[in-house]
Structure 1
């Protein structure tokens, strides 16, 4: 099929379906939040709109969506259902990484794309472990089994766990010189068990449970990037870096993660603001003859929320466009941007709750869910002290240059 100048691009066609998807998500969000059930219908709607594969590269037959496109989509999905948005985010990040550096073997990725044409094929990287610490070797162990591997361990905070088609599991080998890499595991593999540990304040429908792997078989060709480990300063173990481009790719992957998850938080805050606007336009206390929205105090407070969200959106969207252009300065700023955007989104929702009082905290209204979701979005944020310490160190280094 040929494409004429009048035909929309694949990205534009996918974006055109966003409003309908957001409405569908919003209609079911309260139910899934209350029962902590996975939003299969919502994910199906995202898939049918072509949004779940937005970042599949054009060379693989996909739309080739950029980080700016991704931020736009996730912000809108966050307005509908934050849990669906974060599950979608991690799949989009996987496809985007494949577009940049193709870590998946060709046959494995073709299989993923085939599954993606048939229905939603969710993917996520499983890194976190109970009691894990930054820089330490993974507790999950890969042992040789003929020409393949057997994977054993437990991963935690695995977003979308019960519905993942593929899991990219970080593990170490049991060799005398351990290597660390990523092992691609089918979600339905024998030995994979979902431990339903996720019972959080917010993002309750994201199914971010523990995944237990018991001697899960992984073919040799699905063990990616195995790298010898060296002893780092401070006695911690870290993968040996043999090329500068690996560091650059890690920074770029982190930038995509930071801005994608920032967009979800901002989207939640926009949904909270929209509810607040309706409340202020409709609520007329007994001592007034007009709605609360006519009072300067409420208009100023709403203006403060608007200003916070404008700043967060301009920051996230602006950096996303610069990252797409390959600006290194933008890449290294996404960590602080994630922190600032999350702070702004949280402050905006908290202020909306404070303005509405009891109605805002009632479970009959969605505002209290928005508050819980935006507070829980911090689980995707790097430790605040680490982000600020890194930013401060960079500022000191700039100041020391002649």
Structure 2
């Protein structure tokens, strides 16, 4: 059993790490996220120049290729400095290689994937509804009705990240109300975001600030048949494998946050002096960083194992949920200890600990709450459904 990255993956990791330190350092990340109303187009453009938008997109469609491990390495290294700003890459990556690249037809792949790989197309995700949260299917009130040549969609979505600057929204809607089970009769659309009938309202929030999370009101929006992804009515069956991938990606982002927290904590403890010596000699603080380093190693092993399972086409539903739960819990705990280690400076907007904490806190809630993920794990272990 080999727990080491391949030589190719190590080279890719080292390249991304150098790129992050040069092109997207932590000080710049703090500046980018100060104003939640300013989307960081400059960061998007740097990702474009580096070719990152093409990671995970097949070379046949203009991408860089790369399996799930390659994508997770990229996500981890970006989050070490950028925290939640790494989701700027993750959003379109999910809509591209993990969505259109998986269940789009050939025409849709040729139409959208090259533009995504070139950084010319931004996508958002519209699954969650205002009255739903994690109960995506139970609260799904957005509907799409058949008309000549396509569908007319009505409803509302919430927490649609970057939809205010998106070109398309990957949107879930109910197309059949007369179904036996609620996961039947739902369809996935790739909706043009800049058309009449779509009203996008940014929402103020604690973290993930400059990415922009929005309420999207959909009023009689027409979507042609060629923007339906996969078979109408069967979207949930298509989405399940990609939802595992999304949880693995969250695990990678959380691990990157833990990397950044540990890096900053050690630097500070080696320099800061109190009571006549550096605070790195204080036993309590040593225990804090020992815990953070232990969590880091545990999540790294879980991430590598789960990404390997996914890359082999094996069922990793339980493992991806376990990873998502543990990684987000530990990332928040690590950032909280990081604030404690830095004391007043940890609470200051002039350092990154508070930014890591604010961004990581969201990952305990989305894309699925840790409580609901635990319910799914328990059910896979043979216990009755609790919801």
In the other structure, the counterpart of 1:325 is: 312
In the other structure, the counterpart of 1:153 is: 155
Cα deviation, residue 274, structure 1: 1.4
Deviations 1:54-88 (A, max 9, x none): 01023324222111111111111112222331131
Whether the aligned pair in 1 keeps the contact of 2:144 and 2:153 (CA below 8 Å) is yes
In the other structure, the counterpart of 1:106 is: 106
In the other structure, the counterpart of 1:218 is: 223
In the other structure, the counterpart of 1:364 is: 350
In the other structure, the counterpart of 1:314 is: 301
Deviations 1:86-144 (A, max 9, x none): 1311222223335763x223333323234335534222331111102343262222233
Cα deviation, residue 158, structure 1: 0.6
In the other structure, the counterpart of 2:280 is: 293
1:202 aligns with 2:207: yes
Whole-Å separation in 2 of the counterparts to 1:96 and 1:89: 10
Whether the aligned pair in 2 keeps the contact of 1:14 and 1:49 (CA below 8 Å) is no
In the other structure, the counterpart of 2:250 is: 261
Paired residues for 1:336-351 under 5 Å: 336-351=322-337
The TM-score with structure 1 as length reference comes to: 0.83
Whole-Å separation in 2 of the counterparts to 1:104 and 1:55: 15
Runs ≥4 residues deviating over 6 A = 8-15, 174-178
Whole-Å separation in 2 of the counterparts to 1:15 and 1:218: 43
Taking only aligned residues, the RMSD between alpha carbons, in angstroms, comes to: 2.9
Paired residues for 1:2-401 under 5 Å: 16-21=15-20, 23-25=22-24, 26-36=26-36, 37-98=38-99, 101=102, 103-116=103-116, 118-132=118-132, 133-136=135-138, 138-173=140-175, 179-197=185-203, 199-228=204-233, 247=237, 249-285=238-274, 287-288=275-276, 290-328=277-315, 330-396=316-382
- Count, aligned residues: 370
Residues 13, 316 of structure 1: CA spacing in aligned structure 2 closer, same or farther, 3 A cutoff?
closer
Whole-Å separation in 2 of the counterparts to 1:336 and 1:117: 31
Whole-Å separation in 2 of the counterparts to 1:27 and 1:119: 24
Whole-Å separation in 2 of the counterparts to 1:52 and 1:134: 28
Whole-Å separation in 2 of the counterparts to 1:338 and 1:301: 22
Cα deviation, residue 227, structure 1: 4.3
Select the structure of larger CA radius of gyration: 1
Whether the aligned pair in 1 keeps the contact of 2:104 and 2:230 (CA below 8 Å) is no
In the other structure, the counterpart of 1:4 is: none
Structure 1 unaligned regions, length at least 5 = 1-7, 229-238, 398-402
Whether the aligned pair in 1 keeps the contact of 2:101 and 2:109 (CA below 8 Å) is no
SS of equivalent residue, structure 1 residue 263 = helix
Whole-Å separation in 1 of the counterparts to 2:35 and 2:100: 36
Deviations 1:260-287 (A, max 9, x none): 01111221222122111121111112x2
SS of equivalent residue, structure 1 residue 164 = coil
SS of equivalent residue, structure 1 residue 307 = helix
Segment drifting more, 74-83 vs 255-264: 74-83
Whether the aligned pair in 2 keeps the contact of 1:195 and 1:210 (CA below 8 Å) is yes
Structure 2 unaligned regions, length at least 5 = 1-6
Whole-Å separation in 2 of the counterparts to 1:383 and 1:305: 23
Cα deviation, residue 13, structure 1: 6.8
